[in-house]
Amino acid sequence: MKRNVLVVANWKMHGQLSWIEKFVKELNRGLALETAEHLVLCPPFVYMEHLYRSLIGTGIRVGAQNMHGTSQGAFTGEVAASMLVDVGCKFVILGHSERRTQCGEDDRQVAIKFELAKQSGLTPILCVGENAEERAAGLTEVVIQRQLDAVLLHAGQEAFSGAVIAYEPVWAIGTGNSATPEQAQAVHAFVRRHVSRHDPDAAAVMPIVYGGSVKAANARLLAEQSDVDGALVGGASLVVSDFLAISEGFMSAVAR
Ligand code: PGA
C-alpha cells in the first residue's frame, strides 16, 4: 500500500476562464470518485478562487504556484499566504526551479516561505533538484541535501511533518527527458533517508512526488517505485486526457 498519493497539476502561466471551465467539466466527467481527493490543481493566482468554487463538492483541491515570504505589507504585486487560504487554497508549490533561476529565489528565501506557509495552514510542496551540470559532476545528493537543510535550519527538525517534497531534476523539466524510474527512486530514497535523520515519523509518511516530463507513458513505471508517491505535472497537466491517464497510473499504485 502506497503512502498518500498526490498528483499535482502545475499550470504555470497558462489558462483562461473559459479554458478552466472546460477543463474542470472534462476532468469531472472522466474521474473516478476515489481519485479526486488525490488531485491538486495549481492555477495562476487570478484564477484561484474561480477554480476553487468550480471544484466544490468534487474533492479536488487547489494549490498556488508561489507566495510571498512575509505575512502582509508594502510588497507591490505579491500575494500573501493568508490570502491564498482565504480563497480556498490548500497547497503551495515553493522553490520551483523556474522561480529559483528566473526570479533569483535562494534556499533561505524558500525556507522562510516554507515556514510561513505551514504557519498559515497551507501544505508546502517543496521543490528540490539538481541541474544537468550538477548531475554530471556527481553533485545531485549534495545539492538536494543543501536545499533540504536550508528548510530544516530555518523551520526546525520537524519542518517536514505535514509537508510534501517534489523531486524535480531541472534537466527533466519541460524537456521531454524524464528521469528514469530508477533515477527517481534513488533520489527519493535519499530524500526520505535525509529527512528521517531529523524526523523519522514525518519521513515515513511524507509524500515525495516526482516532477519533470511526467507523461501518461511513464507515469505507471514511476508510480511503481516504492518511494515515488505521486507527480508534479507541468505540460501534460494542460491536457485533460493526459492528466487523467497520469492520475490513473498513480492510483493503480495506491491499490497495491
Ligand atoms: P513538466 O514540468 O511536466 O512540463 O516537465 C514540471 C514542473 O515544472 O513542475
Which residue's C-alpha comes closest to atom 7 of ligand 1? 234
Give percent of the chain above pLDDT 90: 96
Give 256's pLDDT tier (boundaries 50, 70, 90). low
Instruction: Pick the closest to residue 41 from 21, 62, 24 (CA basis).
Output: 62
Q: Which three cell numbers stand for residue 178?
A: 524524464
Distance 210 CA to ligand 1 centre (A): 10
Does residue 17 lie within any of the structural domains?
Answer: yes
Find the CATH number of the domain harbouring 118. 3.20.20.70
Who's near 166: CB < 8 A, 6+ residues apart?
A: 8, 93, 125, 126, 127, 128, 208, 209, 210, 211, 232
Does residue 129 lie within any of the structural domains?
Answer: yes
Does residue 244 lie within any of the structural domains?
Answer: yes
pTM beyond 0.95, yes or no:
yes
Number of domains within the chain: 1
* Rounded CA separation 165/114 (Å): 11
Does residue 1 lie within any of the structural domains?
Answer: no
The predicted pLDDT at position 1 comes to: 53
- Measured CA to CA in angstroms, residue 144 lies from 12, 167, 175, 222, 231 at distances of 23, 9, 20, 20, 18
Most informative mutation of 10, 11, 92 for ligand 1 (most atoms within 8 A of CB)? 10
Q: Which domain holds residue 106?
A: 6-251
Does residue 256 lie within any of the structural domains?
Answer: no
Which residue's C-alpha comes closest to atom 3 of ligand 1? 234
